[in-house]
Amino acid sequence: MAALGESGPDANADDPFARLGLSRDAGFEQVQAAKARCLAEVSSDDQARAKIEAAYDAVLMARLRDRQQGQVSAAAATASEREEIAGSMPSLPAKAPVGKVLANLRSKLPDPSQSLSGLKPDWALVEGQGRYVRTIAGIIGVALLLLSAGSIQLVLALATIGVFLSQVRRGRRPLASLGWTLLALSIGLAVGSLLNLALSPTAFEQLALSPLQIQSLPAALLLWAAALFLA
């Protein structure tokens, strides 16, 4: 190698270039290779390794000094610049693989299956004191509806609010609770309308109920059942 001394590295030499076996115009790759080779030769001698590291640092300092004074060849100046850049440039963080980024993104997104599970109806009879409260309230509401046509709007309004609050207290989300409550009310009113169409005027007289009471009765019963069973 042209940049290496003819006698090879001298571990006892005072000159750092001689200690690494380098000439004054050695290039960057040659300095690095000389350092690696010398360290490999004294891998088990900590004192010798320290001397090689010190010689390597001294070579870098000598290169920098010579470059500042304009006393260095073009090849050595290029090597010195590369050594300075390599020592001062911070290492860039490794780019995360695209697959890992997508996996992290998917883990932060809500699970669609869990979101849809909150929309499905769950039927379970309410337990404890709530069962008795709902039963008594339902009996009173149906009785008022049958006895007085003027109480229809009040009964249906209170029943709607009661079903909504019942679902929320049992763990269903407010928006889903509102949807199921309005669905029960709509189905009940639709069934009542069909009953009105099916019954004759004589049937209304026999039942002593107005068409509005007939239409509202299925809705009240369905809301009552929803308050007891819909969770």
DSSP symbols for 10-68: -TT-SSHHHHHTB-TT--HHHHHHHHHHHHHHTTT-HHHHHHHHHHHHHHHHHHHHHHH
pLDDT band, residue 136 (cuts 50/70/90): very high
Could you tell me if 170 and 177 are in contact, meaning their C-beta atoms sit under 8 angstroms apart?
Answer: no
pTM over 0.75: no
**Do 163 and 124 share a domain, yes or no?**
yes
Domain count, the chain: 2
**Do 82 and 148 share a domain, yes or no?**
no
On the CB side of 199, how many CA atoms lie within 13 Å of its CA? Answer: 21
What is the sign, positive or negative, of the torsion defined by CA atoms of 30, 32, 34, 36?
negative
Tell me: pLDDT of 3 over 50: no
Share of the chain above pLDDT 90, in %: 16
**Do 53 and 130 share a domain, yes or no?**
no
Tell me: pLDDT of 196 over 60: yes
Separation of alpha carbons 66 and 58, rounded Å: 12
pLDDT at position 129 is 87
pLDDT at position 210 is 87
Query: What are the backbone angles phi and psi of residue 138, rounded to the nearest 5°?
Result: -65, -40
**Do 80 and 139 share a domain, yes or no?**
no
Query: Range of 216's domain?
Result: 119-229
Could you tell me if 163 and 230 are in contact, meaning their C-beta atoms sit under 8 angstroms apart?
Answer: yes
Amino acid at 160: T
pLDDT tens string 10-59: 666 778 888 888 887 777 788 888 888 888 888 778 888 888 888 888 88
Asked whether residue 107 is assigned to any structural domain, the reply reads no
Closest residue by Cα to residue 4 from 30, 29, 28: 30
pLDDT tens string 197-222: 888 888 878 888 888 888 899 999 99
Final residue before a domain boundary, out of 88, 109, 136: 88
